[in-house]
């Protein structure tokens, strides 16, 4: 049977990491995949995570199965992070959360549930978006439509195009929204725009699906949740797929969650029961370790503060690299205006470099960035910055 199987194309982002690993040039720099690096180029385990793990090692009593929905204390903590301590979707029992394997696993569980148990068969995603969105949703069986988001000439949000395209969506269609730190553009909606999108969803019966993978990498944990909270205050139903890969540095623990918000508690219970049956048919129940780390941190005031401090440190280092990047391009002799990079949020900078320039960066200078021109600012350091900027100056 395998004789009929064709070789799968390389993933646009993960394939780049494979090529990077195989590159023997010593000065090579990987700014492809979105992984946070510290000033020494390492991806550290947070201190708060290590303390939580020590605590778990000393106190954990069993490795028995979790329920399909995972660790209960974790699921409660997720809701508090998403909606705040006293949001009405929580107090009215309209939100239920299931732990799931990373943001990707959470999106996939949500999509499988939607295809099998609702009439929502189409999802609108931004153009551009994270490459895996297409993959996940089409594999689950959703039809995909695109809404405009980015205006290349001005390096800014094309909110008019976003509104116009979403105006043509039908009641019941899903709208994928990046909670913050839009991947790949780094451009987010402002408060007024969030409210306009929420109002449009309400008026036309569109159902928001939030992908929230970078909470705390924009302006802060609470600040970054504002868009989600505005939408949750406005529409009757939504789904959130969130990830702790980046903000807790728990990449390989595969920890995230899917949260359904329904119009009332009965409908939420019904929807959640099918989320659980989707999980049952996929991997039965999730692994415990990542969830226990997160809930241990969030339930302990001192550990929680430490995590907030460490997250702030990551956020501030990236912001510093962003500013330094713009300045270093200038001092490397680049005459084009790259000031727009300092207005982007999160780990990425959408540089506007074209495919040929991206390719030359890789071939001639061993600087790896994604084909779309997306650069992981989180992989820049004071040490590799001059090399990167000199290379960019040459290809421009």
For residue 239, the cross-strand partners are: 209, 260
CB of 353 to ligand TYF, least distance (A): 17
Cα–Cα dist 197/167, whole Å = 10
Q: What is the DSSP letter of 332?
A: T
Phi–psi pair at 367, nearest 5 degrees = -105, 115
Q: Are 49 and 269 in contact (CB under 8 A)?
A: no
| Residue 179 is a binding residue for ligand PLP (CB under 6 A) | no
Which of the residues 211, 224, 276, 307 is marked catalytic? 211
213 binds, among ligand PLP, ligand TYF, none (CB under 5 to 8 A by kind): ligand PLP
| Residue 243 is a binding residue for ligand PLP (CB under 6 A) | yes
| Residue 102 is a binding residue for ligand PLP (CB under 6 A) | yes
Token pair, residue 292, equals 């226990």
- Coil, strand or helix: which one is 82? helix
Is 37 a known active-site residue? no
| Residue 344 is a binding residue for ligand PLP (CB under 6 A) | no
| Residue 130 is a binding residue for ligand TYF (CB under 6 A) | yes
> Which residue of the chain is nearest ligand TYF when measured via CB?
34
Out of 69, 158, 165, 211, point to the residue binding ligand PLP (CB under 6 A). 211
Name the pairing type of β-strands 95-100 and 256-261. antiparallel
| Residue 348 is a binding residue for ligand PLP (CB under 6 A) | no
**Residue numbers 176-195 binding ligand TYF by CB under 6 A:** 183
CB of 243 to ligand TYF, least distance (A): 9
Out of 29, 30, 31, 34, point to the residue binding ligand TYF (CB under 6 A). 34
| Residue 372 is a binding residue for ligand TYF (CB under 6 A) | no
Q: Are 273 and 266 in contact (CB under 8 A)?
A: no
240 vs 361, beta carbon nearer ligand PLP: 240
| Residue 74 is a binding residue for ligand TYF (CB under 6 A) | no
For residue 212, the cross-strand partners are: 242
Q: Which of 317, 291, 307, 332 is nearest to 382 (CA)?
A: 317
Residue position matching structure tokens 């997250």 = 311
Cα–Cα dist 241/100, whole Å = 9
Is 55 a known active-site residue? no
Residues whose CB falls within 8 Å of the CB of residue 40, separated by 6 or more in sequence, listed in order: 381
Cα–Cα dist 51/385, whole Å = 33
Is 246 a known active-site residue? yes
R_g of the chain, CA atoms, integer Å: 21
| Residue 245 is a binding residue for ligand PLP (CB under 6 A) | yes
CB of 213 to ligand PLP, least distance (A): 4
| Residue 34 is a binding residue for ligand PLP (CB under 6 A) | yes
Out of 48, 75, 104, 129, point to the residue binding ligand TYF (CB under 6 A). 104
Q: Are 204 and 167 in contact (CB under 8 A)?
A: yes
| Residue 103 is a binding residue for ligand PLP (CB under 6 A) | yes
Out of 256, 290, 373, 379, point to the residue binding ligand PLP (CB under 6 A). 256
CB of 347 to ligand PLP, least distance (A): 8
Stretch that binds ligand PLP, among 96-104, 260-268, 282-290, 356-364 (CB under 6 A): 96-104
Token pair, residue 294, equals 């997160």
Burial of residue 302 (number of CB atoms within 10 Å: 0-12, 13-18, 19+): exposed
Cα–Cα dist 22/18, whole Å = 6
| Residue 243 is a binding residue for ligand TYF (CB under 6 A) | no
Q: Which of 272, 270, 246 is nearest to 259 (CA)?
A: 272
Which of the residues 37, 124, 130, 158 is marked catalytic? 130
Binding site for ligand PLP (CB under 6 A): 34, 102-104, 130, 178, 183, 211, 213, 243, 245, 256
Residues with active-site annotation = 130, 211, 246
Binding site for ligand TYF (CB under 6 A): 13-14, 33-34, 104, 130, 132, 183
């Amino acid at each position: 049977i395998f004789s009929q199987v064709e070789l799968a194309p390389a993933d646009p982002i993960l394939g780049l990491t494979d090529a990077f690993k195989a590159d023997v040039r010593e000065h090579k720099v990987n700014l492809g995949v979105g992984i946070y690096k510290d000033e020494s180029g390492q991806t550290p385990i947070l201190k708060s995570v290590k303390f939580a793990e020590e605590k778990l090692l000393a106190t954990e009593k069993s490795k028995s199965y979790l329920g399909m929905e995972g660790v209960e204390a974790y699921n409660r903590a997720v809701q508090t992070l998403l909606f705040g301590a006293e949001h009405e979707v929580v107090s009215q029992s309209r939100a239920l959360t299931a732990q799931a394997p990373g943001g990707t696993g959470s999106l996939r569980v949500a999509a499988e549930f939607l295809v099998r148990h609702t009439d929502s068969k189409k999802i609108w995603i931004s153009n551009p978006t994270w490459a895996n969105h297409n993959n996940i949703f089409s594999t689950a069986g959703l039809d995909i439509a695109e809404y405009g988001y980015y205006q290349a000439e001005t390096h800014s949000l094309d909110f008019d195009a976003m509104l116009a395209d979403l105006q043509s969506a039908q009641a019941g269609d899903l709208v994928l929204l990046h909670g913050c730190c839009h991947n790949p553009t780094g451009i987010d909606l402002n408060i007024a725009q969030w409210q306009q999108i929420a109002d449009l969803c309400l008026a036309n019966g569109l159902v928001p699906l939030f992908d929230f993978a970078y909470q705390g990498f924009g302006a802060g944990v609470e600040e970054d949740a504002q868009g989600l909270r505005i939408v949750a205050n406005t529409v009757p139903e939504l789904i959130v797929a969130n990830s702790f890969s980046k903000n807790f540095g728990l990449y390989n623990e595969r920890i995230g969650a899917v949260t359904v918000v329904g119009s009332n508690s009965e409908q939420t219970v019904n929807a959640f029961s099918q989320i659980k049956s989707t999980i049952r048919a996929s991997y039965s129940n999730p692994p415990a370790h990542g969830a226990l780390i997160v809930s241990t941190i969030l339930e302990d005031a001192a550990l929680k503060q430490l995590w907030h401090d460490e997250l702030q440190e990551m956020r501030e280092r990236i912001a510093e690299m962003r500013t330094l990047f713009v300045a270093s391009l200038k001092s490397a002799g680049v005459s084009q205006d790259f000031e727009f990079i300092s207005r982007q949020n999160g780990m990425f900078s959408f540089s506007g470099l074209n495919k040929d320039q991206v390719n030359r960066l890789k071939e001639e200078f061993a600087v790896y960035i994604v084909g779309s021109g997306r650069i992981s600012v989180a992989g820049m350091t004071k040490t590799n910055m001059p090399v990167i900027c000199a290379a960019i100056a040459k290809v421009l």
